[in-house]
Amino acid sequence: MSTIVLPPFWSLVEAHGDELLVHARRMAGDAHGEDVLQDALLRALRAYPQLRHAEHLRAWLYRVTTTTALDHLRARRREVLTDEPPVSVSEPEHYDDSFERLIGALPETARAALRLRFVEDLDYDRIAVRLGCSAVAARQRVSTALRTLRTQGIPT
């Protein structure tokens, strides 16, 4: 088994850094090129000790930079930047009291459980905390209330 001798990582950065920055800017745009290159070099540095070959190191750095640029573009695509501040929702404009009329005939504990589950969209653990019972009991209250509505012919 032969030992692979890799040049010091900093020598690769010195030799190829400028062209990698141009490549990163082409892929991610001028505003994000330096960030992409910095992340790419950090990824490359972490993987460098595990490399099994010493050939084509320039191509390998390009591949790492390309992958990092694509990751940054995907992440930015998920972000939607607006000039508008976020709208705080206190009560939807389309809200009417049809849900309250629907559950009006149920006991208060059942109505409270359904409100917490379907209006406030809480999970059963949080419903349990709010109702002062166990998560199993909270799940049972919601289930029983839905079953009662179904037996009354109300679609759920």
Task: Convert the pLDDT of each residue in 38-84 to its tens digit.
Answer: 999 999 999 988 887 778 899 999 999 999 999 998 887 776 667 77
- C-alpha 130/C-alpha 122 separation (Å) is 10
Q: Provide the mean pLDDT of the chain.
A: 86
Domains located in the chain, CATH noted: 9-78 (1.10.1740.10), 98-151 (1.10.10.10)
- C-alpha 40/C-alpha 45 separation (Å) is 9
* pTM check: above 0.85: no
